[in-house]
Structure 1
Amino acid sequence: MTEMIAPHRLDLICLIVSMAVFSAYHLFVWWKLKKNPMYTLYGAIKLAKAAWVVSIMEDKKDILAVQTLRNWTMGATFLASTSILLAVGLLTLSGQGDKLGQIWHTVNLFGSTTQSTITLKLLVILGNLFIAFFSFSFSIRLFSHVGFIINTPPVDGNYGTSMTFVAMQLNKAGSYFHIGMRAYYFLVPLIFWLFGPLFMVVSTLTVVIIIARIDKTPKLECSYLAGFFKENCRLTQK
């Protein structure tokens, strides 16, 4: 067993480090959201989706609900299709791994350059793409369900007409979409892994820094709409 792992030791160590860094960031965000649901845009949008469901079901905005859910479904469908196309393309490249390995490993100064290492890298990337595909597929499934139950007429004892249930399903669909996007983000370090394990670690740190800045809810600027009308800032950031 040790002889099998030895050629890939550095690559596996860098893969574990990259996954640990990526996971640690998301665990930190999860912990912050427990304390402050408005800490990230994802948390703020979850609250907005719940309010949107209440508005749609109370005011009977059936057409708006269908159009909005259709847009979300189309986006998830496009990304799910893209992940499968990338997986098929990756399988095609796997047949030419011996030729491509010479190009990919030109700047690989420390990692393994064996054919088995290339196969390992392609399998990990393929697994990541399938995670993205299934996440987007699950979100499409839930968006379709929400499209039906959000327009269901209120009936006593009907579980599907509960606003809380509809909002929970909508946010669950958004969570799967969120996971799929994170899998896409982690695809960047995995692609750099083809050129060397150290490139993967550096690209992971870069991606985490970028998404940390994107995820953070911007500070509310009270004077932003001052040119149009007076509006008080009611949200506070911790």
Structure 2
Amino acid sequence: MEWRKCYLDMVLVPSGLLINIAYHAWLWYRVRTHPLTTLIGTYAKAQRFWVPAMMKDIDKRSILAVQTLRNMIMGSTLMATTSILLCAGLAAIISSTYSVKKPLIDTVYGAQGEFMLSLKYVTLLIIFLLSFFSLSLSITFLNKVNILVSVVEDPMPVTTPQYVSDVLEKGYVLSIVGNRIFYAALPLLLWIFGPVLVFLCSVTMVAVLYNLDFLDQCGNGKVFQCRNLDSA
């Protein structure tokens, strides 16, 4: 009987995750091929121009550079703190015998046995740990950029604008990965109440992210112009 109750969990939860993974695979492809059609690609392109501009006139723009990097670090720190706090809460729930581990509503669709509940909490714990790991690495790279961007005179040609841009891009990519892993875990939080909400929330989140990630810069006869900019 318990196996039959797992049917919805086995179908809807992986389907929701596959929709999320397929969307981000397509988004990665668009960022690599046509970056200016996405917000992520446009921002990455802008960073390539921002770093040389800051390093060229760092005496006058040092405050602007520090404030910009500080805001990026604060954003990653906030998400990393939220992730580790959720991990601590989930670890406390898993290790306890409190009644919160039992189903909150008896009429919830899907399996609600001890094994399934443990699987739900462990899956959430692993995903939030991965998010925290990516965000903490992002903070590390952004802190390095905070120092490298202020280097004016370097006897060895190491801290070039190209090198600093590469380090900044790594921090930016790790921040995006950590945030997207965190967003993927949000629908799974509803798995406690059943797999149906997980699937509906995943579809809704993909629709919302699509409207936020993609730009309409290449519309209205500007496809050729955007392709030339993408190849620059």
TM-score between both structures, scaled by the size of structure 1: 0.83
Q: Which moved more, 1:94-103 or 1:145-154?
A: 94-103
List runs of 5+ in structure 1 lacking aligned partners: 222-232
For residues 132 and 6 of structure 1, what CA distance do their matches in structure 2 show? 33
**Native 8 Å contact 1:11 1:112 kept in 2:** yes
Q: Deviations over 1:28-54 (max 9, x none)?
A: 111222221112111100011111101
Equivalent residue letter for 2:102: G
Equivalent residue letter for 2:202: T
List runs of 5+ in structure 2 lacking aligned partners: 228-232
Equivalent residue letter for 2:205: V
**Native 8 Å contact 2:76 2:139 kept in 1:** yes
SS for the counterpart of 1:113 is: coil
For residues 107 and 54 of structure 1, what CA distance do their matches in structure 2 show? 60
Matches within 5 A, 1:75-90: 75-90=75-90
- Match for residue 128 of structure 1? 127
- RMSD value, Cα: 2.7
Question: Percent identity over the alignment?
Answer: 28
For residues 25 and 147 of structure 1, what CA distance do their matches in structure 2 show? 33
- Match for residue 103 of structure 2? 102
After TM superposition, give the deviation of residue 211 of structure 1 in Å.
0.5
Matches within 5 A, 1:63-212: 63-94=63-94, 95-96=96-97, 98-103=99-104, 105-109=105-109, 111-155=110-154, 157-159=156-158, 161-212=159-210
Q: Which moved more, 1:28-37 or 1:38-47?
A: 28-37
- Match for residue 37 of structure 1? 35
For residues 72 and 160 of structure 2, what CA distance do their matches in structure 1 show? 22
For residues 118 and 97 of structure 1, what CA distance do their matches in structure 2 show? 13
Equivalent residue letter for 2:171: A
Q: Which moved more, 1:85-94 or 1:205-214?
A: 85-94
Equivalent residue letter for 1:78: L
For residues 98 and 214 of structure 2, what CA distance do their matches in structure 1 show? 40
- Do structure 1's residue 54 and structure 2's residue 23 form an aligned pair? no
For residues 122 and 72 of structure 1, what CA distance do their matches in structure 2 show? 30
SS for the counterpart of 1:102 is: coil
TM-score between both structures, scaled by the size of structure 2: 0.85
**Native 8 Å contact 1:107 1:195 kept in 2:** no
**Native 8 Å contact 1:106 1:195 kept in 2:** no
Do the aligned partners of residues 32 and 194 (structure 1) sit closer, same or farther apart at CA in structure 2, a change above 3 Å counting? same
For residues 200 and 107 of structure 1, what CA distance do their matches in structure 2 show? 16
For residues 185 and 124 of structure 1, what CA distance do their matches in structure 2 show? 14
Q: Which moved more, 1:121-130 or 1:72-81?
A: 72-81
Q: Which has the higher contact order (CA 8 A, sep 6+)?
A: 2
For residues 53 and 5 of structure 1, what CA distance do their matches in structure 2 show? 56
For residues 16 and 135 of structure 1, what CA distance do their matches in structure 2 show? 23
For residues 219 and 107 of structure 1, what CA distance do their matches in structure 2 show? 48
For residues 155 and 99 of structure 1, what CA distance do their matches in structure 2 show? 59
